[in-house]
Amino acid sequence: MKHASILTVTGALMLLVTLGHTMSAVAKTAAAPTGREIQIEDVSRFYNLYDATGGHPTADQLQHEYLDPGSDGLHILAKVHNVTGARIADNIAKHPEIYSGARQCMAALPRVRQRVGVALRKLARLYPQGNFPPVTIVMGRGKPVAVGSAATGIQISTEMLCAVKWDNLDVEERFVRIIVHEYIHVQQFPALDDDEHPTLLERSLIEGGAEFGTELILGQPAEVTSPPLRAATLGHEKEIESDFAAEEDGTDLSKWLDNSTLEKPGDLGYWVGYRIVKSYYQHAADKRQALRDIIEITVPKAFLAKSGWYPGIVLQ
């Protein structure tokens, strides 16, 4: 793991806790994002309990000693995604290796904080009206990996982010890309992002926009250029995207989204959405306005019509 040799896990945690204790005082928006708004006290508290119980905390202990005294970000994740002490205990029993293994990932966070700060400053230059709430890194129940919105901030579940086996990225790179991806989500308009019953096209443009925004900021998207996805899509662009076009108005997303596992990627909707968004950007004369259009999509069909995308399109 990158940087593990020069920072012990304990030292990394102490450094990050020292830098991150002001999270509660940080406003929901930050005009000059620094990357220091990465809060990890919840992870430190989890592992204090985990160690004290020999890696077998009970549901009651997890609820009252980890979740209840947790950060605002942890409470939001718990409420929105039904993270309870019982569900965490159940997942520890089923997958103990992801909790024992996640501890070592924390050593990468000092460098993650620095790189995210640089990335957010670039995003702020490209999209000055941006919203930059803090990131809360937590230990969860095995899903979701990451969530973000302007209303609730960003939450990253360490145990799942560290357990992914197929993306071919080191831990530092994975953290940075996922956090930037979620910051793009934070900027997206609630009218589309908060739709409880989105169509395939809507969700794919949301995720594709976040993937393309990550690429614009970092040089690479978070997921869609991973080796397994490249292998699955290369030479099959027209076939996959023709199937997508036939289903784009439907609301059954199971074939296209939220179907990755720890061992194998899914999420072809991310990939198609990314290609639609990239087509829009490449066809646009005013690139800064194009990024704003991508972030502020409110009418997916109109955006698709202007994108110049068609199944199998060859992009630069």
pLDDT in tens, 129-165: 999 998 999 999 988 888 887 778 899 999 988 887 7
What is the model's pLDDT at position 237?
Answer: 98
35 with 173, same domain: the answer is yes
Do the domain assignments include residue 4? no
Q: Residue 208 has what pLDDT?
A: 97
Report CA-CA distances (Å) from 193 to 96, 268, 273.
Answer: 34, 19, 14
Task: Report the pLDDT value the prediction gives residue 186, as an integer from 0 to 100.
Answer: 92
Query: Is 166:105 a contact under the CB 8 Å cutoff?
Result: no
Residue 316 — very low, low, confident or very high, per pLDDT cuts 50/70/90? Answer: confident
Residues composing the chain: 316
Q: Which of 126, 161, 187 is the last residue of a domain?
A: 187
13 pLDDT exceeds 50? no
Tell whether 20 and 135 lie within a shared domain: yes
Give yes or no: residues 274 and 242 share one domain.
yes
Does any domain span residue 277?
yes
Residue 127 lies in a domain: yes
pLDDT at 29: 42
How is residue 133 annotated by DSSP? P
Element (H, E) at 280: helix 268-283
Q: How far apart, in whole angstroms, are the C-alpha atoms of residue 94 and residue 89? A: 9
SS3 148: strand
Q: How many domains does the chain have?
A: 2
Whether residues 172 and 199 share a domain: the answer is: no
Note the pLDDT of residue 286.
98
CA distance 254 to 164: 20
In a shared domain, residues 160 and 16: yes
Domain range for 291 is 193-307
Higher pLDDT, 192 or 118: 118
What pLDDT was estimated at residue 194?
64
Three-state secondary structure call for residue 99 = helix
| Same domain (yes/no): 135, 240 | no
Calculate the CA dihedral of residues 44, 36, 146, 281 and round it to 10 degrees. -170
Query: Are both 106 and 212 inside the same structural domain?
Result: no
Give the model's pLDDT for residue 148.
80
Which residue, chain included where needed, has tokens 């089923």? 94
Report pLDDT digits (tens) over 60-94. Answer: 999 999 999 999 999 999 998 899 999 999 999 99
CA distance 176 to 194: 24
**Domain shared by 164 and 197, yes or no:** no
Which of 134, 168, 187 finishes a domain? Answer: 187
- Which residue has better confidence, 282 or 11? 282
DSSP characters over 232-262: HHTT-HHHHHHHHHHHTT-S--TTTSS---S
Dihedral of the alpha carbons of 303, 304, 307, 308, in degrees to the nearest 10: -150
Average pLDDT, the chain: 86
Same domain, 22 and 135: yes
Answer yes or no: do 57 and 174 share one domain. Answer: yes
What pLDDT, on a 0 to 100 scale, did the predictor assign at position 28? 39
How far apart (Å, rounded) are the C-alpha atoms in residues 201 and 215? Answer: 20
**Which pLDDT score, from 0 to 100, does residue 192 have?**
66
Q: What is the DSSP letter of 219?
A: S
Specify if 1 maps to a domain.
Answer: no
Residue 312 lies in a domain: no
Same domain, 201 and 233: yes
What pLDDT is recorded for position 25?
A: 34
Of 135, 155, 187, which residue sits at a domain end? Answer: 187
pLDDT, one tens digit per residue, over 22-57 is 333 333 344 556 555 788 899 999 999 999 999 999
Nearest to 137 by CA among 121, 115, 164, 160: 160
pLDDT tens digits, one per residue of 175-220: 999 999 999 999 997 766 566 789 999 999 999 999 999 999 999 9
Query: For residue 313, is it within any domain?
Result: no
* 231 pLDDT higher than 80: yes
272 and 128, same domain (yes or no): no
Q: What is the pLDDT, as a whole number, of residue 26? A: 34
